[in-house]
Amino acid sequence: MSLSVQSRRVGDVNVVTCRGRLVEGAGSAALQQALDGLLAFPRPYIVLDLAGVDFIDSAGLGLLARYLSRSRAARGHLVLSAVPPKVGEVLRITRLSGVFEAYESEADAIAHAHRPAPAASAPSPVSTDILCVEKSVDVQCVVRELLAQEGHSVLTAGNLADGLILLQAVRPKVVVIGADLRASNHTRVAERFNALADRHVVVELPAGFSSDDAGEAGRRLIEQVRAAAGGGPGPAR
């Protein structure tokens, strides 16, 4: 089958999921286009999930090596996850297995990217202030920008599975979450997420947040987060 490519943002990581044959020509065009777009941003961190790749030729392998170099040149990083046995054997035979950083699963790669390396002078990793889990990319963006203006460090995820990975990897002071996702409890992931979120301060985005007056909705969110973070509600803007 031809290569299909899907990408999504999880916290500070861009996850690119590939399925099919990674071969020269049209088979790799979609992947090149996706990676070119991600490398346009500063310090891109890319997780390339190869779980669904059933064949790779020399040109496809060269493409991976080329974009690894390009990501490093952009002061970013590219790692592999869920490398299938056939592709792993190719990496071993070509002695490129030591060149690529690889993780057993996508979740492992995402979590590792968000765990700061402990320094001798720092007894514990730096905490992330806010984790926002919300389906709408536009709402994620406005929450991130609003709270960044308040001096917060914000990570975002578009679903509970990705949110759970980040919640386990970092230590947010506050979890901001869409009301519909917070109310979800019919899957094991939802149950695990909500159980872990209950150990943190949670601020729910109301169902009408995206359609409310932007100024008023933003002001309410800022006040809720100030109070939740222990700073108390700030003055109305």
For the entire predicted model, the pTM comes to: 0.82
- What is the pLDDT, as a whole number, of residue 121? 40
Among 164, 142, 168, 162, residue whose Cα is nearest residue 154: 142
Q: How many domains does the chain have?
A: 2
Q: Edge-to-edge strands of the sheet including 13-22?
A: 4-10, 13-22, 45-56, 77-81, 102-103
> Is the same domain home to 34 and 105?
yes
Tokens of 136: 């709408």
Instruction: Specify whether 22 is located in the same domain as 83.
Output: yes
Rounded distance between C-alpha atoms, residue 204 and residue 209, angstroms: 10
CATH number at residue 150: 3.40.50.2300
Return per-residue pLDDT of the chain as tens, 237 residues: 689 999 999 999 999 999 999 988 877 888 999 999 999 988 999 999 999 999 999 999 999 999 999 999 999 999 999 999 999 999 999 888 889 999 999 999 999 999 865 544 433 334 568 999 999 988 998 998 889 888 899 999 999 999 999 999 988 989 999 999 999 888 999 999 999 999 999 999 998 888 888 888 888 999 999 888 775 433 333
Whether residues 147 and 197 share a domain: the answer is yes
Q: Are residues 98 and 142 in the same domain?
A: no
Residue at which a domain ends, from 113, 138, 168: 113
Q: Which CATH number does the domain housing residue 68 bear? A: 3.30.750.24
* Residue 108 and residue 10 share a domain: yes
CA distance readout (Å), 102 to 78, 86, 114, 184: 9, 14, 15, 33
The pLDDT value recorded for residue 129 is 87
The residue range of the domain holding 186 is 130-228
Judge whether 34 lies within some domain. Answer: yes
DSSP symbol at 127: P
Q: What is the rounded distance in angstroms from the CA atom of residue 237 to the CA atom of residue 168?
A: 34
